Structure 1
Amino acid sequence: MKPPTSPDLSLVRLPEAVLHVASAGPDDGPLTILLHGFPEFWFGWRHQISALAEAGLRVLAPDQRGYNLSSKPSDLAAYHLDRVADDVLALADHHGAARVRLVGHDWGGIVGWWLATRSPERVERLAVLNAPHPDILAAYARRHPVQALRVGYFAAFQVPRLPEAGLRAAGFLALRQALHLTSRPGTFAAEDIARYREAWSQPGALEGMLNWYRAVRLKRRTLAGPITVPTLILWGRKDVALSPGLAAACLARCEDGRIEWLPEATHWLHHEEPERVNTALTAFLRA
C-alpha cells in the first residue's frame, strides 16, 4: 500500500464549536465525513483519507469536540450525544451538503448510529467500524455480564479529575499501553504514538476526551424503530472490549445492512488492515 498523502488542515467555525478538520478529495465529490473515537483524532484515519479521496469522495476528518485542536468546552452538557451529533450536521451545512456519507469508529461510530437513527434524512450511507448503537450497547450489556465487565472503564472515567491525572502520568503511559495492548503487535509505530501524545497534550484535551464518557449519564431519548439508512458494519472479531454479538445485534436493527467480518483484526481494524478496510469502504460509499 502506498503511503498516504497529507490532507489539507483548517479550522472550521460552526455555530457551537470550532473544529479542526483534515480534508482531501475533489470539491464536487460526495461529502464523506470520517468520525474518530477515543483516544484518537483525525490522524487515526490517515490510511483511509487518501484512498477515499482518490475514489472521488470529498473527505472531511474532523477532530471531534474535546480532541486535539478542536473546541474543548468545559460544560458536560456540551458532550451530550445530540450536541456532538449536531457538530457533524453543522459541518455538512458549512459545506452545503444536505446529505452526507458517514464513517465512524468507536465513539465516532456511536455518533454515526445516532445520526442514522435520529436524522436519517441527512445520512445517505453509514459505515461503522467496531462501534455499537448506543441503545443496543446498554441493553446488550445488561443481558451479557462479560460485556458489561469489558466496558467497566466507563464507570472509572466518571470520577472527576483523577482519570485525567492517571492518563497523563509517565508521559501518557496508560493511553500508550492501551493502544499497544489492544492492537496487533506493530500496529502503532513510535512516530504514530508521538503524534497522539502531541494531541493528548493540548490544553483541556484529556478532560474533553473523558467528558464523552461522562456525558453518557445525561438523559437521552430512546428512539425505537429500524435504521433505514444503508449501513455497512466492519468488525474486527478480536476486539477485547466489544463482543461480535454487538455487531449482530446492531445488524438486526438495520433494514438495509450487512456485516463484513475481519477475523484477525482487533478494535483497530482500520490501522491493522487498511487495504481491506479501504476496499470495503470505497465500494460501499461509491455505490
Structure 2
Amino acid sequence: MNVEHEDVEVNGVRLHIAHRGSGPLVLLLHGFPEGWYSWRHQFDALAAAGYRVVAPDQRGYGRSDRPEEVSSYTLPHLVGDVVALIAALGEESAVVVGHDWGAPVAWATALMRPDLVRGVVGLSVPPAPPAMMPPPSVTRQIYGEGYYQVYFQERGRADAEMAADPARFLRRILVGASGDAPFADGPRVWMIPEGTTAVDGLPEPESLPAWLTEEDVRVFAREHALHGEHAYTGPLDWYRNIEANQGLMSPFRGRTIDVPGLYAVGTMDLVLAMRGVAELRAALTSIVPDLRGDITLQGCGHWTQQERPAEVNAALLDFLAGLDRAPAPRTGHGARPQEA
C-alpha cells in the first residue's frame, strides 16, 4: 500500500488524511473504532482506476484533533468536516463512501449537500433520514441498558475500558463482529452483559481470521493510542450526540437522498440484527430514488471493506464508472438489482 499522509485544517479542526492517486475525488469515511487504515485495501484499486482517493481520520480519531466538548461531535459537525474537506482539497464535488459510522455521515452529507456529492455509498449501515439512527431514549426501551449505544452514553466509562489496552479491545471487537466470529448462528446485536465491561464482554479470539493480521491490529492500536487515555473519548462522543442529532437534523425530515447511491452489507453483519433495519432495507429506493445497487455479501460480517476487499472494490469501481450513465430501470419497490 503506497499512500501519502498530510494534515488539513477544516472548521478549526486539524484532520489527518491518507491519500493516493489523481482524478475525480473519492472520500472514504471510516467507522468505529477504526481510522484511515480501514481502507488499506481500497487505495491501490481506486487510484489505479483513475481516482483521487482520500481517507481522513475523522474528528476525534487517530492523528486528527480531538475537540474537548461532547457537543463538537454532532452529525452536522461531521458533515461540515466533509464539506470543508472537499473545499480544502480544491475540489467542487466528491463521491462519498462510508462504513459503519462513516455511512451515516456519507448519507447525511448527500442529504444536506447534494450539490457537492456526485454519488454516495454506504457499507453496513443503511440510510435512515434525517438523523440516521434511533436515539438512546428509544433503543434503551428496546434493548435495555446493556445495548452498546446506551452503555456508551456515560462519558468516561467505556472510554477507560477500551483505552486501557487498545490492542486487546481491537482484537476482540474486530473478530467478534466479523463473519468469523466464534458463534455461527447469525448476526447478533452488540450487548454488554451486566457486570462486565465493553471489552470483557467480547470473547478473546483463539486466532485471527485470514483477513486480519497482528500487524493490522498493531497499526490500529498505535494510531488510536496517540490520544492516550482519551483514545476513545472522541469516537464515543459521536454516540453521545445521537439524541441531539434528532432535533438538529429535523429540518431535513421528509427529504430524500437524491444522488446516485449504493448500499452493501454482509449477511453476518450485526447491523442486520437491529430492529427496523430489515424494513429500512426494503424501503431503500424510497429513501434513495436513484439507488444503483443493494449488495449482499454472503458470510461477511461488519467490517465490510476489510473482510471482502475484492468484492467491495469491484462494486465501488462499477458504481463509480456508472455515475454518468442513466439510472437502471426498476421493477419494484426495494428492488435489489445486484447481489454478490
**Scaled by the length of structure 1, what TM-score is found?**
0.90
Q: How far did residue 173 of structure 1 move?
A: 2.6
Task: Report what 1:22 is aligned to.
Answer: 18
Give the direction of change, closer, same or farther, for the CA distance of 1:150–1:91 in structure 2 (3 Å limit).
farther
Q: Give the one of 161, 165, 169 matched to 2:164.
A: 169
Q: How far did residue 155 of structure 1 move?
A: 0.8
Task: Report what 2:59 is aligned to.
Answer: 65
CA contact (8 A) 2:97 2:120 kept: yes
Q: How far did residue 151 of structure 1 move?
A: 9.0
- Distance in 1, matches of 2:127 and 2:284, equals 6
1:229 and 2:255 matched? no
Task: Report what 2:233 is aligned to.
Answer: 207
Greater Cα offset, 250-259 or 54-63: 250-259
Give the direction of change, closer, same or farther, for the CA distance of 1:151–1:93 in structure 2 (3 Å limit).
farther
Q: Give the one of 299, 307, 312 matched to 1:277.
A: 312
Q: How far did residue 157 of structure 1 move?
A: 0.5
1:260 and 2:295 matched? yes
Cα offsets for 1:247-286 (capped at 9, x unmatched): 3344431110030111221111211111111011011112
Alignment partner of 2:119: what SS?
Answer: strand
Give the direction of change, closer, same or farther, for the CA distance of 1:123–1:150 in structure 2 (3 Å limit).
farther
Q: Which amino acid aligns with 2:162?
A: L
- Distance in 2, matches of 1:233 and 1:264, equals 16
- RMSD of aligned residue pairs (Cα, Å): 2.2
Q: How far did residue 170 of structure 1 move?
A: 4.2
Task: Report what 1:156 is aligned to.
Answer: 151
Task: Report what 1:188 is aligned to.
Answer: 212
Q: In terms of Rg, which structure is larger?
A: 2
Q: Which amino acid aligns with 1:159?
A: E
CA contact (8 A) 2:266 2:296 kept: yes
**Scaled by the length of structure 2, what TM-score is found?**
0.76
Cα offsets for 1:48-89 (capped at 9, x unmatched): 111111110111000000000001001112101101111111
Count of matched residue pairs: 278
* 1:22-101 pair list within 5 angstroms: 22-26=18-22, 29-101=23-95
Instruction: Please list every run of 5 or more consecutive structure 1 residues that lacks an aligned counterpart in the other structure.
Output: none
- Distance in 2, matches of 1:229 and 1:158, equals 33
Ranges of 4+ aligned residues in structure 1 off by more than 6 Å: none
Instruction: Please list every run of 5 or more consecutive structure 2 residues that lacks an aligned counterpart in the other structure.
Output: 181-208, 323-340
